Amino acid sequence: MEVVSRCRTLSHIKQLHAHLLSAFPRFLSIPSPTRTKLMDLYSISPFGSLPLAILLFDHLNVPSIYDLNSLLRGISLSPHPSAVYSYFRSSLSSSCLKLDALSYSFALKSCASALNLPLTCQLHSHVLHLGFYTDARLQTTLIDSYAKSGVLDASRKVFDEMVTRDVASWNALISGLAQGDRPDEALRLFWRIGKEDDDVRANEVSVIGALSACSQLGAVSEGRRIHEFVRANHLDGHVDVCNVLIDMYSKCGFVEEAREIFDGMECRRSVVTWNTMMMGFAMQGRTHEAMELFERLRNGVDGVKPDKVSYLAVLCACNHSGLVDHGSDFFESMKVSGVVPNVKHYGTLVDLLGRAGRIKQAYDVIVSMPFSPDIVFWQSLLGACKTYGNVEMAEVASRNLVELGSRNCGDFVLLSNIYAAQSRWVDVGRVREAMKLGEVKKVPGFSYIEISGMIHKFNNGDRGHDKWNEISVKLEEIRFRIVDYGYVAGTGFVLHDIGDEEKEDALYFHSEKLAVAFGLISSPEGSTIQVIKNLRICGDCHTVMKLVSKVYNREIIVRDRSRFHRFRDGSCSCKDYW
């Protein structure tokens, strides 16, 4: 029906719907391609209305599988994908409808969006029982659903069992591995594309997944290889590819190369492009460049305006440099611009105030927010209390952390150190006892380092590396040499019932120290050593990195969970403000 293709607004769809009802009295009773197209217009067109699609479906006397699949697709793409389940389950027991592979695909897509692992497993068993397992699209959706639920082994198993793979199945697994804890595996998979099947070619989605893995690993060599692939295959005209290239170079510490891509983009920059570049500058502590970009964006360059992420990026930039007044002004300006601050904006403001010693102001922000503070707010406040020795407010933060169920080792370490600084040894003992009784958990620290294009991962206390003996010797050499420059181990960063000597040993096997020692023995003299750390770098490691950069005449770059630290000639780019 030609008039269907001419619908361009919701009003047009409603007019068409009214015409069909009046012209064809049995329209709701008899399945037809026109009826399904109307369902498509309501459920998945950019100017449709999912509630009206649901209303139409509920009034159909005999819905067809095409009507159902149109509705399931629309719901699976909506902000409330779980609504698919009720229609899917009722259709399972219907004698009028026989679900097909497409129905299961949309149900699994909803599971992926809602992170519903139990239902994914149930649907997987149905798929096997009904013989739909050879459907490539259905298998790809299974890969995606398992990956988004964090069950990467199951996702990989589905992939490996596929008889015929297409680029979509490669992309689903690459993205899942990159977003999970296996980015190195994602990169290996990316380079397999096209080698086993000449008809399969990597596309922009493949590239985005692989570059995201590089960002996590800090693998700039791999990132540059993929960048060459992008140029050779003319994929640099895609704004999303450019955005993730900017992100990759920024997170690998090469913000100038990120800026070159930003400035040289032939495609139109989106607000995501601007936000990614600003966040790159923020992580490097290059606050004024981030603020300059923000002002340009606020003036309407490229026809886009700042959004929530834009304000978060500029707030983070101010936070990393201690620009309290600027950050506070940006926060207040959000309300004028119509952007409503969310939990991340408030969290950054609290951290900014706390780091600057304005602990009472930080506390006032926490208790006056329009939503309840989570654990992160009280952790930020507790960290500030440690820096400035505010015992009273530290106890307030600690009580709230306990009430919220925090079992993080770092929270207890901070409170214990605050008490120890005041010689309140009874309270130190009480904290230690609480740790034993509360089954406190420590998040395992790990670090990545790239040497000659190979990624090496070190865990805290890791002795399993092939070159462990050489690493151990280098660690002892570092410890011996930096003592001459006044180094004293910061044993206060370790809270165990052990002696100071054992605490020093525990400190010296932190993952970033292992990675740097490996870098010293594995890279040319004078070359830069770059490490990616999953947690915030501790004070002792920060001190050691400064001294190593001076003693060995090396630039050391450490990216922790919040920012970059560039250590040169005994000092850090963060100016010890982190």
Digitized pLDDT (tens) for each residue of the chain, 578 residues in all: 566 667 788 888 888 888 888 888 888 888 888 888 888 888 888 888 899 999 989 888 888 899 999 999 999 988 888 888 888 888 887 767 788 899 999 999 998 888 889 999 999 998 888 888 788 888 999 999 999 888 999 999 999 988 888 899 989 999 999 988 899 999 999 998 877 666 788 899 999 999 999 998 888 989 999 999 999 999 989 999 999 999 999 999 899 999 999 999 988 999 999 999 999 999 998 999 999 999 999 998 888 999 999 999 999 999 998 999 999 999 999 988 889 999 999 999 999 999 999 999 999 999 999 999 998 999 899 889 888 889 889 889 988 887 887 777 777 777 777 887 777 888 878 777 777 776 667 778 899 998 988 889 998 888 888 899 999 999 999 988 998 888 877 655 554 443 444 455 567 789 999 999 999 999 999 999 999 998 888 888 999 999 999 999 999 999 998 889 999 999 998 888 87
> Of the candidates 294, 364, 363, which has an alpha carbon nearest to the alpha carbon of residue 323?
294
Is residue 364 in some structural domain? no
Is residue 539 in some structural domain? yes
Is residue 128 in some structural domain? no
pLDDT at position 152: 92
pLDDT at position 491: 54
Give how far Cα 445 sits from Cα of 463, 506, 513, 532, 535, Å: 14, 12, 11, 11, 6
Give how far Cα 495 sits from Cα of 332, 438, 511, Å: 40, 15, 17
State how many domains the chain has.
1
- What whole-number distance in Å separates Cα of residue 499 and Cα of residue 340? 50
Give how far Cα 391 sits from Cα of 373, 383, 394, Å: 20, 11, 5
Is residue 555 in some structural domain? yes
pLDDT at position 286: 92
Is residue 11 in some structural domain? no
pLDDT at position 504: 57
> Residues 387-421, buried b or exposed e (16+ Cβ, 10 A)?
ebebbebbbbbbebbbeeebeeebbbbbbbbbbee
pLDDT at position 62: 84
pLDDT at position 499: 42
Cβ–Cβ < 8 Å for 569, 550: yes
Is residue 261 in some structural domain? no
Structure tokens at 414: 């901070």
497 is in which domain, residue-wise? 446-572
Adjacent-strand bridge partners of 285:
none
Is residue 333 in some structural domain? no
Is residue 309 in some structural domain? no
Amino acid in position 309: V
